[in-house]
Each structure stands twice: as C-alpha cells, then as structure tokens.
Structure 1
C-alpha cells in the first residue's frame, strides 16, 4: 500500500497563496456579474466564477484531507453587490484579463514548486483554465476595440548584430541615444498598459475606501501609477513611438464601497507585486544603459509602496499570515 506523502513547505505555501487569490477573485466576480451591462461580458464572468468556485472547493477539500486549517481568505462579508456601479463598462473584462495574466505566471511557478502528483495535476488544470479565460477576455476586448494594441513596427529584412559597445549607451551626452528595440518597447508598453488600469482601479478604490489611511494609500497608488505611465510614455516618445491610450474602463463617480477595505488592500498588494516582477523582467532585458536605471528607480518606488501597504494591512488585522515553519527557539524554551 502506497502511503501518501505529507505536504512539503513549498506545496503548503502555494496552496495557501492560491486560496487567497481565488477567494478574492470569487468575491470580485460576484460584484462584476451583478453589475454587468453586456451579455457577452456577463457570460465570460459567470463561466469564470463557476470554475473559480469549483477550484476553491477543491482547495478546501485538500486542506481538510491534510488535517490543515482552512485559510480565512475572503468571504461574503467582503463584497456588497447591491451598491452602485464603481467602474464603467469594459472595466470588468480589462480587470479580469490582467488578473489572469498574473494567475498564469503564478500557476506555472507553483506547478514547478509542487512535488506531489495530485498538486501537479491541480496546477496544470488551473493553468489551462486561466489561459482559456485570458483568451476569451482578449477576444472580447479586441472585438469591442478597447485595447489600443502595441505600436506597429517595420518588419526586418535582414539579421543585424551590434557593431559597437555604443549599442548599450544611454547616458552619453555627446551622442544620440539609439532608437528603442522592440524588446524594450514591449516591456515599456506593458508597464504603461498595466499602470493605466492600476490608475483607474486606485481611483475607484480611493473613492469608496472607509478608512482615511486606506483612502490616502490608494490616492498615493494612483499618483504612482500616473508617474510610471508618464515616465514610460516619455521614453517611448523620445524614439517617436506613440504611447497607448484607451477611452474605456474608467471609474465612475460612485462613493459607496462594493468591497471591504481588506479585499481592496489585498488586491492592490497582488497587483503591486506583479508590477514589481514585470518591472524586474524589463530591467533584465533592456540593453540601453539608461533604461535599467529608470526601471530600477521605478522598482524602488513600487517596493516602498507595497511595504507601506503591508504595514497598513497588519495594523488593521487584515494581513493573514502564511503558515510558518516551526520556531525551534520557542520550542526549546
């Protein structure tokens, strides 16, 4: 008879993180479904909610089978679907697309951190489901002409290699900076697009937050997103590349909270950590020397903002602690 291996620390950690994210997603989708004003969008939201709810059930069963306490996560008290609409049409699908972009990376990472067969199967299923939802969101947003799309480029007709170390220059005041390459444009564009969404999300959250400290934090986040959009757009324009813009997916004038401050703070933390990770990738793959410096400065601001958010969450009792390793010093006493 084969004895089932107990969860190792990384597996417990990834299950805990997945439960937090999925219960948050479940609550947000409940609000979006209630306020959906487009049948096609509502179908995507309902289908996604059904699957997310099923995965929350599977995660709950896993914790129970292992004799592990079920995390608190987020419940019905964290959402109020009956309040006025906080975001304009299309925001729901724009937001869901970004959430699924985050999830795709997390599920792949968590699969690589899993050793038990049943957990590998779980994350493979989550990855496929998440990719499917992302594709549906992209199809919908393209059809509605909401996403502007990255800038066009003349396709290369030959292979080129850098002929000089000057290719890396970005600070030399006696020579012109080279034009951005497409890899650099891709990461700058992605940063602008995600922070444009972040700016609208923070605007809405700031309007409805109950605690004054939380409200100020969201306003600070809105200004940080605005600064990143402005700084990255300026870099693109210096290479005669038009920055993206969209007229949809904005916050309304509602001041009634559809979500608890706890949920909005966690959501902001999730998006902040994702921004930090994508910023690090942009830094690693940017070859013009001025860009990593600019991106590193942005990363410092994002990190400080995330740290401030963590302190607010801990102060208000909203930061659920991940399972800890044994404190041997305490046990010795």
Structure 2
C-alpha cells in the first residue's frame, strides 16, 4: 500500500517561507562577521550561528524542492560585500547574536505550534534546540567577559500580598502619585530598552553605509524613534529608583562602505520593527499600570507607521518578495469571462 505524504498547510508553508527569508539574511550577515571577528572566544559563537543558518537554508531548500514549491529568492551573496571594511566590533557581533537568538527562540516556538506535519515539527524543534544552544553559549561568553547586561535588582519580597484597590491599575493622572513598578513591568521595560539600544545601533550603521538619501533618512528616523523610546522607558525606571540597564560596548566603526545591500538592511529593520511591535503588545498585556499600557500602545502605532513608510520604499525598488498566497478567484472568473 502506497503511503502518501500529507500536503503542507498554509501555516506550514508560511512558517518555512518566513524562516527561509530570515536565515538567508542571517547567513549573509554572519558570513560578513566571520571575516572580521578577532576575539578567540567570540569567533566560535559567530561560527556556530553561521553554521546553524547555513544548515537551515539547506534543509529548507530541500523541503521546498520535495514539495515542488518555488524556493524563495531571499538573500544571496549579491546582498553582502565581503570586501567591505570592518563595520562592527567583536562585542557588537556577540551582543547581536545573543539578541537575535532570543528572537529566534520566540519565532521557532511559534512555528512549532502552527505545524501539524511531523517532519516540519521535527525541523522546527531541531532548529529551536540549535537556537537555545546558541543563546546559552553566547550568554556564557557575555558573562565571562563581564558584558552581559543584567536586569535591575530589587530587594527580595518578604510577604505575599493581593491587590485590594483599583488604584493599583491607575497611572494616567499626572497630579496623582503613581504606584511603584512591579517586577513584571520592570522586566518588560528592561527588555524593551535593550532591544531598542541594539536597533538604534543597527539603524545608524545602515544609514552610515547607504548611498541613497531616502533610505538614510528612514534609517535615521528609526534610530531617533528608538532613542526616544529608550529615554521614556529609562525615565520610568529612574522615577521608581530602579537603575536602567547600562549597555556594553556595542560600537560601530566609521566605515561608510556598505557591507550589505539596501534590500537586506531594509528587510532587517522591518523585521526588528515587527518584533518590536510584538514585544510592546506583550508588555502592554502584562503591565497593570495604565500609563505603561498607553505608552506601549502609542509606541506600537508609531512603529507601525514607520514600518509602512519602509515598505513603501522597498516596493518602489521592487525588493519586497511576496509570500505564497491563495488564488484570486474573482480575478480568474473575470479573466474567463473576457476569453469566452
């Protein structure tokens, strides 16, 4: 009896397509990092991250071919200039990999939950394991070098308590004193400061290297948005006598020769923007002080508009690769009517 392979669902196709785009971008960036990294403790981390992305691309390409689905173009050697001078310090590379591993862990867990076919689930489970190991190893090196940025400390609680007043949820009235932040709110403020710090550095490096004025302005606008959000989140922590995180040396050089294509950098910033909106939505849902919720919601709208402006630029250049979609049945019917 012949055993037929179950067809991929729309969610599974969407997941492997998205993963291919992400890892093809990562392979370009990490290959460029490998060219320049000098620190003997950091180099193995960069190599591991590169090897993971290359292996994922190989497996995904094979899966697309078996299913007779067109393999996405994604990003190729044409999107990275290996002759470009060094743009990023070794510490930046390590911090970047650690942060993107966090993004990957969230992404892969989501892909697993949307997949039914066993081989697809196994692939994403293995990829999640790879990413967890990358996060663990990069974290160990950050810690050993004393540059792992820890969340703020607070005194240990001594009692259990329950909320007995609706004022606990307030915070919009500027004339009333806001209650102290709780640990859940602090953790999200800390995380969003960290992600914006990295995003602002990347945006600056992409603006610095781009030759197109419109893209330079869009990247610098992204940096300015990140800086503004960092300032507001930091102010919120300091008002509660909680020390804001101090970033490690994640510097970029003064090179203006682009290591990556504008197509890749625009995609990367859009990817980070989408992740930022997700982070803010999670933070808003987890926070209980109304002023925090309001900030996260209005910041999400600001990033959404920024992302839309970026998408307009990408479409103008013909860089936006379209995900697989369903057939437009109405269009088919109209075309049939005109040919009858």
Q: Settle same-fold status: TM greater than 0.5.
A: yes
2:338 is aligned to none
Please say if residues 283 and 296 of structure 1, whose CA atoms lie closer than 8 Å, have aligned partners that are also in contact: yes
Once the two structures are TM-superposed, the CA of residue 171 in structure 1 deviates from its matched residue by 2.4
1:216-295 equivalence runs, <5 A: 216-295=217-296
- Which residues of 2 match residues 38-117 of structure 1 at below 5 A? 38-117=39-118
Q: Which runs of 4+ in 1 moved over 3 A?
A: 172-175
Aligned to 1:37: 38
Once the two structures are superposed, the pairs formed by residues 52-201 of structure 1 within 5 Å of their partners are 52-201=53-202
CA contact (8 A) 2:42 2:141 kept: yes
Q: TM-score, normalised by structure 2?
A: 0.96
**Secondary structure at 2:150 match in 1:** coil
CA distance in 1, matches of 2:278, 2:136: 22
Displacement, 1:294? 1.1
Q: CA deviation at 1:252?
A: 1.3
Contact 2:149–2:248 (8 Å) recurs in 1: no
Question: Following the alignment from structure 1 to structure 2, what is the Cα–Cα distance between the partners of residues 94 and 148?
Answer: 10
Q: Quick check: 1:111–1:123 contact (8 Å CA) kept in 2?
A: yes
Contact 1:86–1:254 (8 Å) recurs in 2: yes
Partners of 1:173 and 1:279 in 2: how far apart? 23
RMSD over aligned Cα, in angstroms?
Answer: 1.1
Matched, 1:313 2:317: no
What is the rounded CA distance, in whole Å, between the counterparts of 1:262 and 1:42 in structure 2?
Answer: 27
Gap runs ≥5 in structure 2: 335-340
Q: Is the aligned partner of 1:12 residue 2:13?
A: yes
1:89: Cα distance to partner? 2.7
Deviation at 1:32, TM superposition (A): 0.4
CA distance in 2, matches of 1:51, 1:280: 29
Q: Deviations over 1:81-129 (max 9, x none)?
A: 2211112231111111111111111111111111111001001001111
Tell whether the 8 Å contact from 2:49 to 2:97 is kept in structure 1 after alignment.
no
SS at structure 2 position matched to 1:204: helix
In the TM superposition, residue 44 of structure 1 has moved relative to its aligned partner by 1.1
Name the CA distance, whole Å, in 2 between partners of 1:202 and 1:256.
Answer: 15
State the 1:172 CA deviation: 3.4
**Separation in structure 2 between the aligned mates of residue 329 and residue 253 of structure 1, nearest angstrom:** 53
> Is the contact made by 1:89 and 1:248 (CA closer than 8 Å) also made in structure 2?
no
Task: Tell me the CA shift for residue 183 of structure 1.
Answer: 0.4
CA distance in 1, matches of 2:85, 2:54: 24
Partner of 2:299: 298
Change (3 A) 1:62 1:173: closer
Counterpart-to-counterpart distance in 2, 1:200 and 1:2: 52
Q: Aligned partners of 1:175, 1:264: CA distance in 2, in Å?
A: 44
Query: 1:15-26 alignment to 2 at 5 Å?
Result: 15-26=16-27
Partner secondary structure for residue 39 of structure 1: coil
| CA deviation after TM superposition for structure 1 residue 52, in Å | 1.6
Contact 1:100 1:133 in 2 (8 A): yes
Residue 199 of structure 1, CA deviation: 1.0
Deviations 1:116-163 (A, max 9, x none): 110010010011111110111111111112233111111112111112
Secondary structure, counterpart of 2:152 in structure 1:
coil
